[in-house]
Amino acid sequence: MATVSSSVTPVSRQETSRQEQGAFRNHAPVRRAGFGKTLQIFWNMLFHKPRNTRPAGSIPVHSLTREQLLKAPDHSVYRLGHSTVLLKMRGKFWITDPVFAERASPFQWAGPKRFHQPPISLEALPEIEAVILSHDHYDHLDHQAVLALASKTRHFLAPLGVGDTLIKWGVPAAKVRQLDWWQGCEIGGICFIATPSQHFSGRGLFDGNHTLWASWVMIDGLTRIFFSGDTGYFDGFKRIGQQYGPFDLTLMETGAYNVEWPHVHMQPEQTLQAHIDLRGRWLLPIHNGTFDLAMHAWHEPFDRILSLAWERSVNITTPQMGQAFSLTQPDRGTAWWLEVDGTLEQQEGASA
């Protein structure tokens, strides 16, 4: 079982999560939409979606095999889709927010449907040392994926309350470790710290904020990785960067944003600033390219974050789904999304 590292336990109770009347709260006040505004948001999402929120063509996917992964060098990073990232460290595999379902929804007949299949199946994945979970929303906590991974995973790391959900689903309690903000543990020589994020939780109508949400710091010797989970922009990024940065790689939410919910999802400009606050060296945008969860064009997060990173001379990588990114030999990748809707051909034709 993982052991708590005393060097990463909370400094004071004011820095850990807050609960009021049984519900978790963000440290900074978050403006909540009233019933009328919430109804309008759902109405627009259901009936006024622009066509370009879904790709016109096929998303390129690099298929992976167990054998490839076992032979891959340490510090290989693979985007499998949305916020699901597979990392290889110390010869073992670690995965964030594993979602393999066809839809990010409580129903598999309705709700946001995948743009692409995962680069590897759950069955083909090698043994997983730890699953790292950020919160309990359906596009981050996949019931069937958890059940499928339970037998091949040694540890599940989760924010407070999310671990109770895993145990309720049948994951052995001995495998589950629940952490508050600023608490940490060590597994296989790698230190994991649950750090604050600014978001919310809930999987039904009556369980809002009953479980905690978090970002994660991963420290493997001299290598440091940050996983944002879902979050709005807040001053916590600077604190995390000061305490645990610089980070070799930040896995940063960049997608499913809207002016109607600025406190719980970041615009690309805020994503870039958060990466800078964290003192990140390479930025890998996640939470995009797999599900239709907002009103913006599906490729807009890539377009905006890439342009912003170039303007600020920030190292950014945009690997295709399943394509390896190496922390020891980092590569920028390509603007692959331009080919999906024929944008690249249109640009080349206009310049000819």
Summarize pLDDT for 236-286 with one digit per residue, the tens.
999 999 999 999 999 999 999 999 888 999 999 999 999 999 999 999 999
Q: Is the pLDDT of residue 147 over 80?
A: yes
pLDDT at 46 over 80: no
Give residue 209's Cα distance to chain centre: 18
Nearest one of 304, 251, 312, 257 to 280, comparing CA atoms: 251
pLDDT digits (tens, 9 = 90+) for 59-71: 999 999 999 999 9
Taking domain 74-351, whether its CATH number is 3.30.70.20 is answered by no
Q: What's residue 48's pLDDT? A: 67
pLDDT of 34 reads 57
pLDDT, residue 144, reads 97
- Mean pLDDT of all residues belonging to the chain: 91
Q: What is the pLDDT of residue 347?
A: 46
Q: Which range has the worst mean pLDDT, 19-23, 96-100, 183-187, 209-213?
A: 19-23
Could you tell me whether strands 76-81 and 84-89 are parallel, antiparallel, or unpaired per DSSP bridges?
antiparallel
Residue 18 pLDDT grade (very low, low, confident, very high; cuts 50, 70, 90): confident
Give the model's pLDDT for residue 3: 36
Q: pLDDT > 90: what percent of the chain?
A: 80
Per-residue pLDDT for 11 more than 50? no
Closest CA relative to residue 220, chosen from 324, 78, 9, 75:
75
Looking at residue 308, what is its pLDDT? 98
pTM: 0.92
Reading the block at residue 133, the tokens are: 């979970």
**Banded pLDDT at 343 (limits 50, 70, 90):** low
